Chain A
Amino acid sequence: MSSSPPAAYSPRTLAEACRHLAAEPRLVRLAGCTDLMVAAAERWPWHPGVIDLTGIAEIRGVREDAGGLTIGATTTFGELRRSPAVRARFPALAEAAAQIGGWQIQNRATLGGNLANASPAGDSLPVLLALEPMVVAIGPRGQREIPYTDFHLGYRRTALAPDEILAWVRLPPPPEGAVQAFRKVGPRAAQAISKVVVAMVGTVTDGRIAELRLAAGSVAPTPVRLARAEAAARGLQAGPEAAARAGSAAASEVTPIDDVRSTAAYRAWALERLVRRLVLGLAPGPLPGEGPI
């Protein structure tokens, strides 16, 4: 316990939060704390202070607008997985939310926290990369929109300034008729940090792959779009050939590492198969089997 306690703020409005951050940009911004509390020993005594964003009603909840959704940054994954609007329009996001941690984690962990914490293993991040939302940041210099595809600058580095608050994630309507998919490989389905995560948004016109967005997590210092895999399959007949090309390209464009959770070789191998399976899902007919990858 520190002899001089850190400053601690619980603002109720964005304006109030911005005033605190303008006065002291080094305040640690808190949401669900599911990662921050684990790193607490390193941060103790948390000087100069902390600011809790979860009491700001403006940045919590899901709002429907113009065919898309605006999701408040402190909306929990539990709220996302239960949201009828998220389930109906962004099923891959609902599925990712349902696989993040267990029930207790989902009751605390927030979408904005997952983005700002910027772990390369964040499960919701590849889904968002494929859905191409805008991130709305608010700070002492006003409000700005950051395309989410430009948000992750490097390992745990984001485009968010120290004195800015991640306020909303604005999801545009998905492409007409798009298939959305999310797959995660970990030691178990819940409560485990992923070895590989893949998300896809894709459309098929006259049997050919028209739109294809693929993204992956835990295979590079940041969550990444798989541009080569997308290019390899786009325009091809939806089927095994396109799926195989996308899978091989994906494995060639990532830089996974060996760590406590997995090996680089396994990650590349699993990514290749996950991408192949997701892209195969764009083909008509029965869905590919769920056997071992």
Chain B
Amino acid sequence: MRVELTVNGQPVAFDGHPMERLLDLLRERLSLTGTKEGCGEGECGACSVLVDGEPQLSCLVPLLQCGGRRIDTIEGLAHGPARALVEGLVAAGGVQCGACTPGIVVTAWALLQSNPAPTREEVAGALAGNLCRCTGYEGIFRAILQTAESHEHSGKVENPVS
């Protein structure tokens, strides 16, 4: 089947099996390998992308349900509106092995869009589905809260600078 959608602001069409995973379409067809496969079964959050602005797990999204959707991946965000958040994560020690980082950035970015001044508890709640086995989360939380305080996350996701 043929499905048309938007990825990082660009119109894209995929011909594929209706149950093919969005994760594979991004990585294998578009070479957008910033989105990571961790568990592949909806437990770890590494493959988080934005679907119409909401964080979802791309390993659980079949092609059939992508028609007309707006997908934003780490590539669109990190080189554009979420740049300050990424730099903050690096500076605060919120990145170690890096496998979870794209999913953390995507999810934290979505949180800051809907809640520009989150509490620590709200940050932890939003990231409950993003597993990090290295950092202990302290650096991650600090970076997100500092980014929120500095108001540097207020770029528009629809117009990434990249």
Tell me which of A52, A101, A105 contacts B64 (CB under 8 A).
A52
Does B45 touch A at the CB level, under 8 Å?
A: yes
CB-contacts of A244-259 with B (<8 A)? none
A5 & B17 in contact (Cβ 8 Å cutoff): yes
Tell me which of B42, B65, B127 contacts A101 (CB under 8 A).
B42
A104 & B55 in contact (Cβ 8 Å cutoff): yes
Whole-angstrom distance between the alpha carbons of A40 and B128 in the complex? 25
A30 & B43 in contact (Cβ 8 Å cutoff): no
Does A190 touch B at the CB level, under 8 Å?
A: yes
Does B93 touch A at the CB level, under 8 Å?
A: no
Q: How large is the interface on A (under 10, 10 to 19, 20 to 34, 35 or more residues)?
A: 20 to 34
The contact string, 1 if C-beta is below 8 Å from chain A, for chain B 20-49, is: 010000000000000000000111010010
Tell me which of A6, A30, A104 contacts B45 (CB under 8 A).
A104
Nearest residue in A to B62 (C-beta to C-beta)?
A33
Does B67 touch A at the CB level, under 8 Å?
A: yes
Does A117 touch B at the CB level, under 8 Å?
A: no
Tell me which of B17, B19, B57 contacts A105 (CB under 8 A).
B57
Inter-chain contacts of B65 with A (CB < 8 A): 30, 33, 52, 54
Does B1 touch A at the CB level, under 8 Å?
A: yes
CB-contacts of A194-241 with B (<8 A)? none
The smallest beta-carbon distance between B104 and chain A, in angstroms, is 12
CB-contacts of B110-136 with A (<8 A)? 125-131
A103 & B59 in contact (Cβ 8 Å cutoff): no
Whole-angstrom distance between the alpha carbons of A282 and B127 in the complex? 34
Inter-chain contacts of B107 with A (CB < 8 A): 103-104
Interface of A (DSSP majority class)? loop
Inter-chain contacts of A108 with B (CB < 8 A): 56-57, 60-61
Inter-chain contacts of A189 with B (CB < 8 A): 128
Q: Which of B16, B64, B67 has the most CB of A within 10 A?
A: B64
Does B18 touch A at the CB level, under 8 Å?
A: yes
B56 & A191 in contact (Cβ 8 Å cutoff): no
Tell me which of B18, B43, B54, B128 contacts A107 (CB under 8 A).
B54
A105 & B129 in contact (Cβ 8 Å cutoff): yes
The smallest beta-carbon distance between A261 and chain B, in angstroms, is 13
Does A260 touch B at the CB level, under 8 Å?
A: no
Whole-angstrom distance between the alpha carbons of A50 and B16 in the complex? 14
Does A46 touch B at the CB level, under 8 Å?
A: yes
The smallest beta-carbon distance between A2 and chain B, in angstroms, is 7
The smallest beta-carbon distance between B112 and chain A, in angstroms, is 13
Q: Which of B16, B62, B125 has the most CB of A within 10 A?
A: B62
Does A8 touch B at the CB level, under 8 Å?
A: yes
A104 & B57 in contact (Cβ 8 Å cutoff): yes
The contact string, 1 if C-beta is below 8 Å from chain B, for chain A 30-49, is: 10111001101001111000
Whole-angstrom distance between the alpha carbons of A46 and B63 in the complex? 13
B129 & A1 in contact (Cβ 8 Å cutoff): no
A46 & B19 in contact (Cβ 8 Å cutoff): yes
Inter-chain contacts of B51 with A (CB < 8 A): 107
Nearest residue in B to A37 (C-beta to C-beta)?
B60
Whole-angstrom distance between the alpha carbons of A132 and B39 in the complex? 36
Question: Could you list 12 A-B pairs, sorted by A, with CB under 8 Å?
Answer: A5-B1, A33-B60, A33-B62, A34-B42, A37-B60, A38-B41, A52-B64, A52-B65, A102-B45, A103-B55, A103-B107, A107-B55
Nearest 4 interchain pairs by C-beta: A102-B129, A190-B128, A8-B18, A102-B128
With A34-B42, A38-B41, A104-B42 given, can you name 14 additional A-B contacts, CB distance below 8 Å?
A: A1-B17, A5-B17, A30-B64, A37-B60, A37-B62, A40-B19, A40-B21, A50-B19, A101-B42, A103-B129, A104-B45, A104-B48, A104-B56, A191-B128
